Amino acid sequence: MSNAITLEDVSKKLGGRQILNKVSFTIETGDIFGYLGPNGAGKTTTIRILLGLMLPTAGRISLLGKNINIDENRRHVGFVLETDGLYDQMSAQDNLAFYGKLYGITRSAERIQEILSLVRLKDRAKDKVAAYSKGMRQRLALARAMIHDPEILVLDEPTAGVDPTGQVEVRQIILDMAARGKTIFFSSHNLDEVQRICNRIALINRGVIQLYGETEQLQRQMSKSEVLLETSAAIPETVLNELRGLPGINIIEVEDRTIRLSSGDNTGIPDIIEFLVKKNIRIEQAKRREASVEEIYTSILKEVEPG
């Protein structure tokens, strides 16, 4: 699969301060790429460089294998920033018509209706944006980002301040766009949202990439061999104490009929199940537990904190 976005050793200094330090990652065509990090980590600077709003101090960036610093190549990118930049006193269709002219869109009226249908705003096309909810504004901002049919979409906190229903709507639109072959760069503090839709993630802190890879693979790697067991009845405390005595077993949590534990190399899931069955404990379900994106995020940041 070809690469949509490539950063190689990208660094940026501002006022003598190192904002980005040799940032490297690759986003493949069709990825929904989650870009994570605390405030001040370098996410916004990365986005500005990706959009050609800022030049790096060092390093190389390419979009679809082409130089990002050429204006024509940046036309392959649509974006939604944290401030939506919509015109409140204009209708949705007039907002899109205005941006369509900037991009030189032909058959603008047809394209506007198509995009408004995609973001589920066709019935509100003639309403002024000032009357829109936060979720509706975000959907219109997504429509504006797509008006010129770009291959790449850069989204900065697209669900910030949006209610749960609006978040579901925005999420579905993003998934629809990915299904149409778009590559999505998704910067967000909403870690649950990232886990739901992103197939690849990177975590930046203090200008340095601390973690990068496929989401599911990272979840497996960070799970620390945790196992979830569901039993037909609560396990007696005497049996739990014996289970704790097995080599490498660490019981993390017991709640009613569910037990979460980690096991070392010396004791696997079959050994645990065999032990419990011998104690007349019926196992309803046993599965490996994958770490959540939030747990990965917290764990990595805790490791890199000074002191």
The predicted-structure confidence for 208-220, as pLDDT tens digits, reads as follows: 999 999 998 888 7
Side chain identity at 17, as an amino acid letter? R
Does pLDDT of 249 surpass 90? no
Does pLDDT of 306 surpass 60? no
Q: What is the pLDDT of residue 267?
A: 66
Mean model confidence pLDDT for the chain: 88
Distance CA(285)–CA(44), nearest Å, equals 44
Q: What is the pLDDT of residues 11-48, one digit of tens each?
A: 999 988 999 999 999 999 999 999 999 999 999 999 99
134-146 helix and 108-118 helix, angle to the nearest 10 degrees: 140
Q: What is the pLDDT of residues 57-92, one digit of tens each?
A: 999 999 988 877 776 767 889 999 888 889 999 999
Distance CA(177)–CA(235), nearest Å, equals 47
Render the chain in DSSP notation, one character per residue. Answer: --EEEEEEEEEEEETTEEEEEEEEEEEETT-EEEEE--TTSSHHHHHHHHTTSS--SEEEEEETTEETTSHHHHTTEEEE-SS----TTSBHHHHHHHHHHHTT-SSHHHHHHHHHHHTT-GGGTTSBGGG--HHHHHHHHHHHHHTT--SEEEEESTTTT--HHHHHHHHHHHHHHHHTT-EEEEE-S-HHHHHHH-SEEEEEETTEEEEEEEHHHHHHHTTTTEEEEEESSPPPHHHHHHHHTSTT-EEEEEETTEEEEE--TTS-HHHHHHHHHHTTPPEEEEEEPPPPHHHHHHHHHHHHS--
Q: What is the pLDDT of residues 255-266, one digit of tens each?
A: 888 888 877 666
State pTM to two decimals.
Answer: 0.81
Q: What is the pLDDT of residue 182?
A: 94
Domains of the chain: 3-220 (3.40.50.300), 224-288 (3.30.70.2470)
25-29, 160-164, 267-271: segment of lowest average pLDDT: 267-271
Q: How many residues does the chain have?
A: 307
Q: What is the pLDDT of residue 307?
A: 47
Other residues' Cβ atoms within 10 Å of the Cβ of residue 263: 19
Q: What is the pLDDT of residues 105-130, one digit of tens each?
A: 877 888 899 999 999 999 999 999 99
Per-residue tokens: 284: 């309803």
Q: What is the pLDDT of residue 225?
A: 65
Contact predicate 135/166, CB 8 Å = yes
CA 155 to chain centroid, in Å, comes to 10
CA 163 to chain centroid, in Å, comes to 18
